[in-house]
Every structure is written in C-alpha cells, then in structure tokens.
C-alpha cells in the first residue's frame, strides 16, 4: 500500500471517528439542554396562560354565573398566519368538576379523562404539566408528546452526521493533493536513484530537497563516489592487465608457432599445437577484457549519427580474413540506403565482431553465416545449428555464460554487446530457432 493511500485511509477514518464522537457528545448535550429548557418552559407557559384562561372564562359566563357546559376549540389563525401546532403542544382547560371546557384541536390525543394532578405527569407517551386555580378550581394542562423531542433530536443528529458524506470525499481529495505535493521531492529523489547505475554515478541533484531528504542524498552521493572509485579501479586494472598480457602472450604465441613449424610432424607436434590453441584462446580472452573495460567505461554512449555501412563491410572483411576455417559470410542490405545510426563507430564494430565470432564458433561447420540489415533499422546475424532451449536462451546475455556447446569461448561476447547497446538505447534480441527456420540461432541488434 502506497504512502498516499495509507494517509487517505488513515486520516479519513480518524476524521470519521472524531466527528462521530463529537456528534455523540453534542447529541447528549443537546438532549439535556432540550429537556431542561422545554420542561421548564412548560411550567412557565402554563402559569402565564392561566390568568388569560380565567379572564376568558369570566367573560364567557352566562348572566346567572353558570357555564353553558360547551366545549370550545380555539379559533384558527388567519390564513396568512396559519401554524400547524398538532403533535407539538396541546392543552386542556377543565372546570372544578373535571369537565373539559376549552381545548386545542388535538384534545382527543391527550389520553383518557382523569382528575387533574398539579405538576408534571408522564403517562401515555406524553409529558404534561397542570396548574390549578385555588379559587375556581379551574385547571390548565399543557401536554407534549414524547415523539416531539425525539423527532427534534433525530433531525439535529442527522444535521451533525450528514456533512460527513461530503467532507470525507473532499478530505480524501485534499489529502491526495497535499500528499502528492509533499511527496514530490521523494518521487524526484527516487527517480534520480533509479537513473543511476554502473554507467551513471553522478551526484544527486539536492537542489530544492527538503531538510529530511538531504542527509539521504548526501549519504547516497558518498556511496556512489566510493562505488565509482571501485569500478574505475576495476576497469583500469582489467585494461592494464589486458594490455600488459598482450605483448608476452603474442611473443609466446610467435615462439610456439615457430617451434611448430620446426617440428613439423615430429614427436611433440601435437602438444605444441595444443599450446598454440591455448595461447590463441588467451589472446581472444585478453581482447574481450579490453572490450569489456571499454564498454563499462561508456563507449556506447554516443549520440551523433554515423554511417555504419562501410564499417559493417570492413568488419565482415576483416573477420573473414582472420578465420582459419573457411566460412562464408553473406551481407544482405534490405534497407536500400546507408545505415545511419546514433552510435559510436568503434562500439558498433565491437558488437558486430562479437556476434560474428559467436555465430561462427557455435554454428554448424561448413554452413554460411548471414548478416541481414533490415528495413526496420536492425542488424541480424543468423547461423545454422542446434536449437538453444528457451531456459538457456534467457541467460546467454550474462557474463561468463556459455550455452551447452563443445566449442570454446569466454562467455563475454553477448554480455559486451548487451552493455554497449543498452548505453546506446538499443537492445539485443536472441532467438532460437532463427525466425523462418526450424533450427539455428539469430542475434538481432535493434539499433537506436
């Protein structure tokens, strides 16, 4: 899980929990305050209404002082001031005998008639408050249904929780944007590290990096500097060793070849031939070491376009002239024009020479080797021979890796080609059997 996703999920969950806890506490406080205010207001309202009720009753009494016994309902407000009070607050006015003389329109909802009791009474899911006039015995009862407060509290709780439906997505988006902005230096540093390798050990660009990342960049710079020094020392050692070995090996080879010529078919000639073969292999290995040191030094990192057509012809001619066994190497230029490649000419020659050597060394004896310049700006070297299994084909580009063959070789050729092409932004593609054949091997250089 990415850091961004962790922050989005974690902070959103924390906000939901904190908001929920706050809503819960607020609801409880709200319930207590409503109970305190509304319950107290019932008593105050009843005491304020009682004088009005008594005055109204006095004005409606008959001349002989007796009430007509008629139950009066409060008149509706004018149309412009119509208010639906049903279900919120009802009241009844009863005389001394308990008969209802004035009531709101929902008087039937107040439960069965019973002798009024002064003060608060909770019954039939309603809270009532009654005040009784001591002189006339007239009582006024205010009644509030329980669901009135429950509905109000429910609506208030919804009002507290509904914003979460909008805030959580907005918060997730804000966290994502803020995290992207905050982690941009980390992503930049990560990309810089990913771009580093054996051919690029330049110091990291710490400009604009936050204080938390600067020590990491400085430590990586020190590490890459030590690595660069170690790689440079290794390359210098390999190159110097190869240079130093070339002269004595060449001298020893010349002496062995002279001794071979002097012995002819005499006793020991076979052993001299074996020594000659070993020395030639050692010469080839030192040459590969020199090529490898040049490849690791960045020989293939060349951006200028060069015409490789004459270089290809020269390398094929040179390689053909050096072979002891007669092998035909044909060149088929299907491109129809000069092969212009953004690559160092010497690097291209080293790649082609290694592929030709690999094709001749491991191909079927007596069968030709084909060099095909494709219309897709590729150079393919194709030979005939046994099929290399897929599991073996995948690792042939590694160092000192040789396939299942009885032929000699250092196992460095394809590794050198891969390194150079990678530096040139090209690739090496190996296929076996060769495309269009039932056997053989193809090494294709996809050129930049």
365 pLDDT exceeds 50?
yes
Mean pLDDT value of segment 390-396: 77
Domain shared by 364 and 261, yes or no: no
Q: In the prediction, which pLDDT does 402 show?
A: 61
131 pLDDT exceeds 80?
yes
pLDDT bucket at 381, cuts 50 / 70 / 90: very high
Mean pLDDT value of segment 348-376: 87
Domain shared by 316 and 399, yes or no: yes
Domain shared by 442 and 323, yes or no: yes
Q: In the prediction, which pLDDT does 78 show?
A: 39
Q: How many domains does the chain fold into? A: 3
**120 inside domain:** yes
More confident of the two residues 48 and 145: 48
More confident of the two residues 117 and 333: 333
247 pLDDT exceeds 80?
no
Domain shared by 386 and 279, yes or no: no
Structural domain range at position 41: 3-74+87-161
Q: Write the pLDDT tens digit of every residue in 416-428.
A: 888 888 888 888 8
Domain shared by 292 and 314, yes or no: no
pLDDT bucket at 302, cuts 50 / 70 / 90: low
Mean pLDDT value of segment 68-82: 42
**264 inside domain:** yes
Mean pLDDT value of segment 15-31: 85
Mean pLDDT value of segment 85-101: 72
108 pLDDT exceeds 70?
no
**382 inside domain:** yes
Domain shared by 94 and 202, yes or no: no
CATH number at residue 271: 1.10.287
pLDDT bucket at 73, cuts 50 / 70 / 90: very low
pTM of the model: 0.49
367 pLDDT exceeds 70?
yes
**111 inside domain:** yes
pLDDT bucket at 280, cuts 50 / 70 / 90: confident
Lowest mean pLDDT among 10-19, 228-237, 330-339: 228-237
Which residues does 344 contact at the CB level (< 8 Å), separation at least 6? 299, 300, 301, 302, 306, 424
Domain shared by 423 and 318, yes or no: yes
């Amino acid at each position: 899980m990415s850091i961004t996703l962790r922050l989005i999920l974690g902070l959103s969950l924390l906000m939901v929990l904190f908001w929920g806890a706050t809503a819960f506490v607020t609801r409880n406080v709200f319930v207590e305050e409503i109970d305190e205010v509304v319950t107290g207001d019932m008593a105050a309202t009843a005491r304020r209404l009682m004088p009005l009720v008594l005055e109204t009753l006095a004005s409606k009494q008959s001349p002989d002082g007796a009430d007509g016994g008629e139950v009066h309902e409060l008149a509706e407000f004018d149309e412009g001031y119509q208010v639906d009070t049903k279900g919120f607050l009802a009241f009844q006015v009863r005389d001394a005998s308990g008969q209802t003389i004035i009531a709101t329109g929902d008087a039937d909802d107040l439960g069965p008639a019973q002798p009024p009791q002064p003060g608060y009474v909770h019954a039939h899911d309603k809270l009532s408050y009654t005040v009784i006039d001591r002189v006339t015995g007239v009582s006024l009862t205010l009644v509030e249904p329980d669901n009135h407060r429950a509905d109000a509290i429910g609506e208030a709780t919804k009002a507290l929780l509904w914003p979460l439906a909008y805030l959580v997505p907005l918060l997730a988006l804000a966290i994502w944007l803020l995290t992207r902005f905050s982690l941009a230096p980390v992503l930049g540093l990560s990309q810089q590290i990913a771009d580093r390798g054996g051919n690029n050990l330049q110091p990291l660009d710490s400009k604009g990096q936050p204080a938390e990342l600067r020590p990491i960049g400085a430590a990586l710079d020190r590490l890459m500097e030590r690595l660069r020094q170690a790689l440079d020392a290794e390359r210098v050692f390999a190159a110097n060793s190869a240079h130093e070995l070339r002269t004595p090996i060449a001298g020893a080879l010349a002496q062995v070849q002279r001794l071979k010529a002097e012995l002819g078919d005499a006793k020991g000639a076979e052993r001299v031939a074996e020594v000659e073969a070993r020395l030639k292999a050692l010469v080839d290995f030192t040459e590969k070491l020199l090529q490898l040191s040049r490849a690791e030094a960045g020989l293939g990192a060349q951006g200028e376009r060069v015409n490789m057509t004459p270089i290809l012809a020269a390398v094929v001619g040179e390689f053909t002239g050096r072979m002891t066994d007669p092998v035909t190497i044909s060149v088929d230029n299907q491109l129809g024009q000069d092969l212009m490649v953004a690559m160092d000419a010497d690097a291209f020659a080293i790649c082609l020479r290694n592929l030709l050597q690999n094709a001749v060394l491991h191909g079927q004896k007596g069968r030709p080797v084909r060099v095909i310049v494709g219309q897709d700006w590729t150079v393919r070297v194709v030979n005939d021979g046994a099929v290399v299994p897929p599991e073996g084909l995948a690792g042939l580009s590694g160092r000192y890796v040789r396939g299942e063959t009885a032929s000699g070789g250092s196992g460095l050729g394809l590794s050198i080609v891969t390194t150079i092409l990678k530096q040139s932004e090209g690739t090496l593609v190996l296929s076996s059997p060769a495309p269009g054949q039932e056997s053989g091997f193809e090494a294709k250089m996809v050129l930049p």
